[in-house]
Chain A
């Protein structure tokens, strides 16, 4: 078999001592950067990019890829332990992950994360190995109306991620979308809702938004609590393992999450984040006890974590096979390839086949490192919670400030964090979930762009939105989801009899 020989060749190249070292270094650095609030893979890669100018191309890309998925994983650690997501794609992990921490089960949550990430990543890699060209075609066949429909589905699904009132979930999504429209409109160049600030002309930066809505709001809610927010943690190796029942309950979510993630990861845009939200809301709907989601159950961690990691892998497919980066982080990795004189594009897989397969092999090794590195480290991460919160929270504030400031070296951004944080804290107090807000913020502007383009290319004919099968199916599911909770809430209430006081 061709692929097998090629892959073995890739392993041979990736397993050289130097490359193993860079892989390890990348994964370790990425995890570390991902754990720090306000920093993510994106910043990590952009800051380390100049260093890779001096490395051999294989090693450089292996290290950058390591930072990328290390960062994704590190982001989940921050979500679970301090309820401040390190990366947007782990925002949904906060919901159940941090509840587990509050019950003293942080170690289990981290362990499940590590395993689910590894399995999700591996499935993503297998699919990437076997079906790269196919998946690339799939991504290319997506037209504007299809993107629009998938994103609308993602948005409505993310509203249902919310605990409690579905109405408030929808409002949170819509507020996120509205904040997302701040800045220059791509299609007309009109500056919307900038209130006259030049800093808002390019919109609100994602890091700033996430740090306000999650970071500041979380610190305000937890600082000065008489009880430590995380209670007593069990940190012995034995306490890390999920119960037999939990392991059994996680298998389905991991399998479905990985499948979903692999498919959506290949779509340019918001692959990992979108698939994490969809996986979570999918499991919640599938579950016989949906009300348990949000109380700290393993399914709520396993599903999004396997989904975002498999998506993180397949996101490389369009980048490598077409030379078209799906996300800003991918664009940086492409930039690194070009710096090393490797033009990414349709011919990369044929002309630089060795690089492609080395990379695939190193992904696998990287994921393994991630697992090896993190299982023992779980106990150390959990010990972080033993630091008294009155020392921990000022540190979180400082890291958020420096992280945000490093984005564009403008103090204005810090004040923007305060403004968004006030909104976020208000939402939290009044029972509006932050995760759907974030999702609305990310997908809203993309959705507008695709909707507009679909209609422009369709010359104003609204029916183009349902002419493609993918779009039609997505829109049908969306309408069902949209109608159900609004109706369902009333159905439930009728069943109980009268509105409860």
Chain B
């Protein structure tokens, strides 16, 4: 059903975009390292559908879940570098070799960066009964009793956990992380009060905060999130703090530059579509398009920042 709809939309666009170049002449597969229905899968389908219209070829989403998406990344790293296999990755991909053994790819050497799509802000939240109202309260409460306070994360060496570690490091705090299996149980634990604090996705945080089940203390992005101007950024209290997972598209190393260019432009046009942007925002993504060149110049930095943070926790305690 979906194919028919997209194909119908794509026909009028084919003439302009496709005649100029040979590529793409058949459907492109975009590999996602997570199961259907999750945030990454939704992102792939939404952006993929819109970019298909630009390319005049269907972008088919292929789910290869496992090992934080690194199995999918390794699959793409080994794929033919012809532009017909792409990888929708997120921050875990970049620190994969540090967190997992034998991932089978190198985050820099194995890929050609295609486009940066979005960030997904996290929020520092507190149970309503905890006597803190803002970041200053939080910092003074926690620094008074080192080692006393727990915070919930969605697993060891997840971005949620690393955000906590980075905050502890930068603000000189000593807290104890309590790993949960994924985001939902960690939200539950803070709502029920089993754990006083937690790093959870901004999306989950705002929906629980509306019902008064949680207090949001701050977001982990460098600046405030435009849709929630009332929520402070943690960086306002802890200067320089920034820890938000990001989502991007990679192609196997060796993909021809003009193909990368075509793809990068297609994603760029897609990411300027108001309708797409608003549906991404509604799902907790903060759209942040960067073309291949801009993104490529950021990749080494991103890899080293996250890998450093991850290496502290994955071999430490």
Which residue numbers of A lie inside 8 Å of B, CB to CB?
45-47, 49-51, 53-54, 140-141, 143-144, 184-189, 191, 194, 196, 198-199, 201-202, 268, 322-325, 328, 331-332, 335-336, 338-339, 341, 343-347, 408-410, 449, 453, 456-457
Contacts and interface: CB of A to CB of B under 8 A. Distances in A.
Given A143-B194, A323-B208, A345-B207, A453 B64 contact: no
B264 interface: no
Interface string B33-74: 001111000100100000000000000001111111011001
A199 B66 contact: yes
B103 A198 contact: yes
B67 A331 contact: no
Nearest to A142: B192
B37 A198 contact: no
A179 to B, nearest CB: 17
26 contacts: A45-B37, A46-B36, A49-B37, A50-B2, A51-B2, A53-B45, A143-B194, A184-B67, A187-B179, A189-B156, A189-B314, A198-B74, A198-B102, A198-B104, A199-B71, A202-B65, A202-B67, A202-B68, A323-B204, A324-B187, A331-B38, A332-B37, A336-B37, A338-B42, A339-B42, A408-B63
A408 B2 contact: no
Given A202-B66, A343-B207, 14 more contacts: A53-B45, A189-B157, A198-B74, A201-B71, A202-B68, A324-B184, A335-B42, A336-B37, A345-B208, A346-B211, A347-B210, A453-B180, A456-B178, A457-B195
Contacts of A188: 156, 317
Contacts of A344: 207
A194 B67 CA distance: 12
A409 B178 contact: no
Contacts of B313: 189
B178 A453 contact: yes
Contacts of B179: 186-187
Nearest to A453: B178
B35 A54 contact: no
A322 B38 CA distance: 18
Nearest to B101: A191
Contacts of B35: 46, 328
A322 B180 CA distance: 18
Interface in B140-159: 150, 155-157
B145 to A, nearest CB: 13
B20 interface: no
A140 B192 contact: yes
B99 A322 contact: no
Interface in B1-43: 1-2, 5, 35-38, 42
B132 interface: no
Please indicate which of the listed interface residues B5, B35, B37, B64 has the most CB atoms of chain A within 10 Å of its own CB.
B37
Contacts of A322: 188, 191, 213
A367 B275 CA distance: 38
A445 to B, nearest CB: 9
Contacts of A141: 192
Contacts of B302: none
A331 B212 CA distance: 22
Contact of A456 (B71, B176, B211): B176
Interface in B106-130: none
B211 A341 contact: no
A433 B42 CA distance: 40
B33 to A, nearest CB: 10
Interface residues of B, number: 54
A449 B184 contact: no
B36 A408 contact: no
A408 B211 contact: no
A9 to B, nearest CB: 23
A408 to B, nearest CB: 5
A23 B64 CA distance: 30
A186 B181 contact: yes
Interface string B177-212: 011110011011001101100000000100110111
Contacts of A54: 1-2, 5
A460 to B, nearest CB: 12
Nearest to B208: A345
B207 A408 contact: no
A267 B132 CA distance: 30
Contacts of A51: 1-2
B170 interface: no
A268 B180 CA distance: 13
B64 A410 contact: yes
Interface string B294-314: 000000000000000000011
A339 B62 CA distance: 19
A331 B157 CA distance: 22
B282 interface: yes
A464 B68 CA distance: 33
B194 A341 contact: no
A344 B203 CA distance: 11
B17 to A, nearest CB: 24
A425 B27 CA distance: 43
Please indicate which of the listed interface residues B36, B70, B101 has the most CB atoms of chain A within 10 Å of its own CB.
B36
A268 B71 contact: no
A46 B187 CA distance: 23
B147 to A, nearest CB: 10
A365 to B, nearest CB: 24
Contacts of A184: 67, 100
A282 to B, nearest CB: 27
A336 B156 CA distance: 28
A324 B188 contact: yes
A408 B71 contact: yes
Interface string B67-104: 11011001000000000000000000000000111111
B66 A201 contact: yes
Given A54-B1, A187-B179, A336-B37, A325 B103 contact: no
Nearest to B313: A189
A120 to B, nearest CB: 26
B199 to A, nearest CB: 16
Contacts of A341: 282
A453 B156 CA distance: 13
A184 B194 CA distance: 24
Contacts of B208: 323, 345-346
Contacts of A53: 2, 45
A497 to B, nearest CB: 51
Nearest to B315: A189
A189 B67 contact: no
Please indicate which of the listed interface residues A331, A453, A456, A457 has the most CB atoms of chain B within 10 Å of its own CB.
A453
Contact of A408 (B65, B180, B187, B282): B65
A200 to B, nearest CB: 9
Nearest to B61: A50
B156 A186 contact: yes
Contacts of A408: 63-66, 71
A189 B181 contact: no
Contacts of B70: 198, 201
A71 to B, nearest CB: 15
A332 B187 CA distance: 17
Contact of A346 (B2, B37, B210): B210
A291 B75 CA distance: 52
A272 B8 CA distance: 43
Nearest to B176: A456
